[in-house]
Amino acid sequence: MSLLEIKDLCHMYGDKTLYKNASLELYKGEHLGVVGQNGVGKSTLIGILTGEVVPDVGDVRWQSGVRIGYLDQHAQINGKITLLDYLKSAFDLLYSLEREMHHLYEAYASTGEERLLDRAARSQIQLENADFYELDVKIARVMTGLGLTALGGEKPLREMSGGQRAKAVLAKLLLETPDVLLLDEPTNFLDSEHVDWLSDYLAAFPNAFVVVSHDHGFLDRVTTCICDIEGETMRKYHGRFSDFVVQKQHFREDYIRQYTAQQRKIEQTEAYIQKNIAGVNSKMAKGRRKQLERMERMPPPSFTAARPTFIFPHLPLCAAHTLEVQRLVVGYDYPLLPALGFTVGCGEKLVITGFNGIGKSTLLKTLMGEIPALSGSYRFGERVVVGYGAQDLLWEEPGLTPMEIVMGQFGFTIKEARKHLALCGVKRDHSIQAVGTLSGGEQSKVKLSLITARPHNFLILDEPTNHLDVESKQALQEALTAFPGSVILVSHEPAFYRSWADRVFDIERECKR
């Protein structure tokens, strides 16, 4: 019996059909990866599974009594609580049982009633069976694996960065060990070493999970099956992600062969009908026309759509150094990093790495003048024009459409705006939809379209690949390789920048000096 059964699912987002008569099943112990291009409905599927989104048509049935754990990175949590207390709350029932056991022992000591001793003993057996006395070790293991140990267990959640709080939410979820985990892009806020740890943890996870991710290396390590959302339907493939890639290529080739053969048959039949409908073979022609009318026609392949083409227009550079940073200290009420010093040469591409929460985004915001430096200085070279892409997907007016945003900022005509957005992979229906309602990947493309709309000679990009599908990542990689200006990129994906980066600046190593 399946843990989850989806039958005849139909759902529209705005005027776009995401699923049409789609079906899917999840069985005990399956590790299901959900893949597809940006905007096809991967995160919407997670929303439907959690009940946050109600589908237009279809049945979504969970097995009775199944415990579901959802990684909600935007969940409201008590900021006053410490990290350790928050993680321990995953075992509230066990701690409650322990308190009850102590009360029973105390009551037995004062009354001598054997029934109280029996109840206390049964409670202790329950705790032992649940490995209660190993919880501290288990919590410490998860904290270390996700990079939370360095923060200290007594740190209040309100003093953590967004990435650190997201790690805490993930850690608590893993400790709860629900029957089914629902994870939407869990690696976005993790460093490479913590992605490795999570990969090993999930690969050995005894229960089922559904994970949305654009990190194909991660998916290949943790999945046992793949749900591919494409062409308004869901298709399940068994095996790891790499097995799915091979199976899907065969499926596509077979579909194209069948579609091509059917189109050829339709053309031949229509030609025969047109030639013979009024002649001696009129009866046969009419019969073939009825056959043609009854034929279930295959829709054209939907997987042949062009990928985005990002082009960063550039201005000339003449200075030897386009950026000089001298003993710069960044932070808010207190320094996040020691004094930093580095330069970026003309046309140099610099990648900044380091664990989440260390202060990489704060450094970029300081360089962009969004927050003041605590001390030290930085100076861009003459005639440097910076194009900046922040990590967050916040919009001043989330109700505006991408068309309205591009036209308003750059004075484009409707035709120019539509052409520019289409080049960046923003589909027509998404371009006229409120930007705040788009998927993370679609919003990232809109953000990139704003940078590519004007020429620059220096790009500062903070985790631009977080929500992008593989085709968009490849397009961005090619655009940055071709860009002749200077680049500062914050990234946790060596596979993305390894081929074109001139230098990697590891802030974590700088802090240890």
pLDDT by residue (tens digit) across 2-11? 999 999 999 9
| Section 111-127 average pLDDT | 90
Please determine, for residue 392, whether its predicted confidence score (pLDDT) is greater than 90. no
pLDDT of residue 512: 61
Mean of the pLDDT values across residues 127-141?
92
Other Cβ atoms within 10 Å of 467 Cβ, number:
21
Q: At what angle do helices 92-111 and 114-129 cross, to 10 degrees?
A: 160
- What pLDDT, on the 0 to 100 scale, is given for residue 299? 80
Question: How far apart, in whole angstroms, are the C-alpha atoms of residue 234 and residue 9?
Answer: 10
185: helix, strand or coil: coil
Q: In this predicted structure, what is the pLDDT of residue 36? A: 87
Give mean pLDDT, residues 111-130: 90
CB crowding 95-130: b at 16 or more within 10 Å, else e: eebbeebeebbeebeeeeeeebbebbeebbeebeee
What is the per-residue pLDDT across 430-459, written as a single tens digit (0 to 9) for each?
899 899 888 888 999 999 999 999 999 999
For residues 404 and 419, the answer to whether their CB atoms sit within 8 Å is no
- Spatial distance between the Cα atoms of 124 and 319, rounded to a whole number of angstroms: 72
Residue 133 has pLDDT above 60, yes or no: yes
Share the mean pLDDT of the chain: 89
Q: What is the pLDDT of residue 429?
A: 83
- pLDDT value at residue 306: 61
pLDDT at 287 over 70: yes
CB 179, CB 68: distance < 8 Å:
yes
Interval 15-55: pLDDT, tens: 778 999 999 999 999 999 999 887 788 989 999 999 999 99
Give the model's confidence band at 303: pLDDT under 50 very low, under 70 low, under 90 confident, else very high: low
Mean pLDDT check: name the lowest of 277-281, 337-341, 498-502: 277-281
CA dist 429 and 254 (Å) reads 29
pLDDT at position 511 is 61
Strand order in the sheet with 503-506: 386-389, 458-462, 486-490, 349-353, 503-506
Give the Å distances, CA to CA, from 23 to 60, 229, 236, 301: 9, 11, 9, 20
Structure tokens at 220: 């290949």
137: left (phi over 0), alpha (psi -120 to 50) or beta: alpha
> What is the reported pLDDT for 437?
86
* Gyration radius of the chain over CA positions: 28
**Residue 193, pLDDT score:** 85
Query: What are the counts of helices (DSSP H) followed by strands (DSSP E) for the chain?
Result: 18, 17
The better pLDDT of the pair 469, 168 is held by 168
CA distances from 106 to 99, 115, 323, 378 (A): 11, 13, 69, 66
Any idea of the CA torsion for 438, 441, 446, 451, to the nearest 10 degrees? 160
pLDDT of residue 258: 93
User: Percentage of residues in the chain with pLDDT exceeding 70?
Assistant: 97
Average pLDDT, integer, range 483-505: 91
Which of these ranges, 40-49, 59-68, 72-81, has the smallest mean pLDDT?
72-81
Can you give the pLDDT at residue 192? 79
Q: What tens digit of pLDDT does each residue of 175-192 get?
A: 999 999 999 989 887 887
pLDDT tens-digit map of 354-371: 877 778 889 999 999 999
| pLDDT of 401 above 60 | yes
Residue 513: what pLDDT? 60
Predicted pLDDT of residue 449:
95
Q: What is the pLDDT of residue 108?
A: 85
Range from 80-89, 268-277, 396-405 carrying the lowest mean pLDDT: 268-277
Are 62 and 68 in contact by the 8 Å Cβ rule? The answer is yes
Q: Are 503 and 350 in contact (CB under 8 A)?
A: yes
Instruction: Answer for the pair 90, 168: CB distance below 8 angstroms, yes or no.
Output: no
pLDDT at 304 over 60: no
Average pLDDT score over residue span 474-497: 92
